[in-house]
Amino acid sequence: MNDVVRHAVFFIADISGYTKFIFSNEKDISHSQMVIRELITTLLDEVNLPLQLIRIEGDAIFLYAIKDDDDQSWEQVSKHLVVNTMALFRVFTHKLTELTIHKVCNCTACINIEALKLKVIVHSGRAAFYQVNGHQELTGTSPIVIHRLCKNSVEADEYVLFTESAYNDLAPTDLAVVEGEETYDDIGTIKTYVHYPPEPGPYVPSPDAKPPTIFIETLREEVSREYAGVALNPELGFHFHTGRTLTAMLDYRDEWLEGLPEEAIESFAGMGNPFDLGPLDPRQKVVDAGCGAGLDCLIAAKMVGSEGEVIGVDMTKEMIDKAGSNARATGVKNVTFKQGIFEELPVEDQWADVVISNGSINLAPDKDAVFRELNRVLKPGGRVLIADILVEKPIPDSAKRNIELWTG
């Protein structure tokens, strides 16, 4: 479709309250953007042909469907477009509920998720479609009109606004509408039909539903931020034990720590002593899932000897950088550190004789995925040595949403 004028119906699905949401949460800008990205992705996932994306416009998606297409029945297409439009409100509202249920952060961005609303503007008319560096673009009065209508006199936060041309083309006779008009200095008066969608049915998550992406990203971001502090400023103190005090509490033997740099010990933040669960033998290959600054890796390297090999994995860059520095200071050659997450370990299939993990798996949002990964990287008959927190009673939702409990 290059440099051709077509009759199309245009849609802008706009997240109401975006500007206020972003500016009022400027300190929490990364979380604000994650929320908006999750909502935009949800809307795009619901868009079905013949509705197509023109572009994403920050807090909105700009869509179109060609009307003058002889290969399709417009009567059927128009019905589909109305159904698709109303479905956007359902998935948007359900995603807001899902995000609210799973939120783990009490920043102003996360606690104000429910304040966001959706409005859809629909206009029908002609526009010139053309390509710029492989991207679909369009020009003409119709794109101008629909964008002007995003600023209108409708007082509600959630609605569909049809122009007269769009209402006539789509014929959404099953929708209750309120007639009105909008006037603009440069384009005159536009007759409108506004529909106020009812509340959708309750959100019912499927039993095997995974936490939303924003939940996982928020959790990883906050965990990394906390443990970056442990790596860079271990002397500050945290709401969990660290360093030599902790190694003594967990009965780490003096001979294990002998010759190791203080930097490896000062940022140690484990939950137990995985080496008490069983010995590591010479020539074994070991993976440390959540290696931190590398203390357990350096101990494991001593145990498996020069013919063994150890891979330490951690998602916090500052910890990985410090672990590498500690290995170089020690002079060991059989330890490698890689940045990565527990659910996608950067380790070959069936590589490890032993996987150790110390105080890290509790920080992972998808425990099932973690244990699948441990099984994947282990050789048949391999061992897993885990020292971690185990809660043997139900955890209240208030605790699940407390990021400090997750990070500590």
188 backbone dihedrals φ, ψ, rounded to 5°: 85, -155
Instruction: Please indicate, yes or no, if residue 268 is contained in any of the structural domains.
Output: yes
Q: Are 179 and 335 in contact (CB under 8 A)?
A: no
Placement of tokens 């939950």 in the chain: 271
Q: Which of 195, 226, 249 is the last residue of a domain?
A: 195
Residues 155 and 263 grouped into a single domain: no
Question: What does the alpha-carbon distance between residue 262 and residue 150 come to, in Å, rounded to a whole number?
Answer: 60
Residues 292 and 183 grouped into a single domain: no
Share of the chain above pLDDT 90, in %: 67
Question: What does the alpha-carbon distance between residue 405 and residue 12 come to, in Å, rounded to a whole number?
Answer: 40
**β-bridge pairing 309-314 and 188-195:** unpaired
What is the per-residue pLDDT for 408? Answer: 61
Instruction: Please indicate, yes or no, if residue 214 is contained in any of the structural domains.
Output: no
Residues 59 and 161 grouped into a single domain: yes
Q: Two tokens at 361?
A: 């798996």
Lowest mean pLDDT among 11-15, 349-353, 387-391: 387-391
**pLDDT-based confidence at 65, cuts 50/70/90?**
very high
The mean pLDDT value for 298-306 works out to 97
Instruction: Please indicate, yes or no, if residue 348 is contained in any of the structural domains.
Output: yes
Instruction: Please indicate, yes or no, if residue 46 is contained in any of the structural domains.
Output: yes
Q: Are 53 and 148 in contact (CB under 8 A)?
A: no
What is the per-residue pLDDT for 168? Answer: 96
Residues 35 and 178 grouped into a single domain: yes
**β-bridge pairing 352-358 and 378-387:** parallel
Chain segment 237-292, per-residue pLDDT in tens: 888 899 999 999 999 999 999 999 999 999 999 999 999 998 899 999 999 999 99
What is the per-residue pLDDT for 239? Answer: 80
Residues 381 and 244 grouped into a single domain: yes
Task: Please choose, from the candidates 342, 347, 339, the residue with its C-alpha nearest in 3D space to the C-alpha of residue 361.
Answer: 342
What is the per-residue pLDDT for 360? Answer: 93
Chain segment 181-216, per-residue pLDDT in tens: 999 998 999 999 999 999 888 888 777 767 777 778
Instruction: Please indicate, yes or no, if residue 391 is contained in any of the structural domains.
Output: yes
Instruction: Please indicate, yes or no, if residue 207 is contained in any of the structural domains.
Output: no
Amino acid identity, position 233: N
The mean pLDDT value for 346-363 works out to 96
Res 402 pLDDT > 80: no
What is the per-residue pLDDT for 1? Answer: 46
CA atoms within 13 A on the CB side of 274: 29
Instruction: Please indicate, yes or no, if residue 97 is contained in any of the structural domains.
Output: yes
Res 45 pLDDT > 80: yes
Chain segment 92-115, per-residue pLDDT in tens: 999 998 888 777 677 777 778 888
3-state secondary structure the chain: CCCEEEEEEEEEEEEECHHHHHHHCHHHHHHHHHHHHHHHHHHHHHCCCCCEEEEECCCEEEEEEECCCCCCCHHHHHHHHHHHHHHHHHHHHHHHHHHHHHCCCCCHHHHCHHHCEEEEEEEEEEEEEEEECCEEEEECHHHHHHHHCCCCCCCCCCEEEEEHHHHHHHCCCCCCCEEEEEEECCCEEEEEEEECCCCCCCCCCCCCCCCCHHHHHHHHHHHHHHHHHHHHCHHHCCCCCCHHHHHHHCCCCHHHHCCCCHHHHHCCCCCCCHHHHCCCCCCCEEEEECCCCCHHHHHHHHHHCCCCEEEEEECCHHHHHHHHHHHHHHCCCCEEEEECECCECCCCCCCEEEEEEECCHHHCCCHHHHHHHHHHHEEEEEEEEEECCCCCCCCCHHHHCCHHHHHC
Residues 168 and 309 grouped into a single domain: no
Lowest mean pLDDT among 200-204, 308-312, 348-352, 374-378: 200-204
Q: Which of 195, 225, 246 is the last residue of a domain?
A: 195
38 backbone dihedrals φ, ψ, rounded to 5°: -65, -40
**pLDDT-based confidence at 24, cuts 50/70/90?**
low
Residues 139 and 13 grouped into a single domain: yes
**pLDDT-based confidence at 19, cuts 50/70/90?**
low
Residues 172 and 26 grouped into a single domain: yes
Q: Are 312 and 337 in contact (CB under 8 A)?
A: yes
Residues 242 and 191 grouped into a single domain: no
Amino acid identity, position 16: S
Chain segment 366-397, per-residue pLDDT in tens: 889 999 999 999 999 999 999 998 888 887 76
Number of domains composing the chain: 2
Chain segment 118-176, per-residue pLDDT in tens: 999 999 999 998 888 878 788 999 999 999 999 999 999 999 999 999 999 999 989 99
The CATH number of residue 397's host domain is 3.40.50.150
Residues 181 and 266 grouped into a single domain: no
Residues 142 and 247 grouped into a single domain: no
**pLDDT-based confidence at 76, cuts 50/70/90?**
very high
The CATH number of residue 82's host domain is 3.30.70.1230
What is the per-residue pLDDT for 2? Answer: 54
Q: What is the dihedral of CA 378, 375, 223, 203, to 10 degrees?
A: 170
Query: Which residue range is the domain that position 381 belongs to?
Result: 235-407
Task: Please choose, from the candidates 76, 80, 67, 72, the residue with its C-alpha nearest in 3D space to the C-alpha of residue 6.
Answer: 67
Residues 244 and 135 grouped into a single domain: no
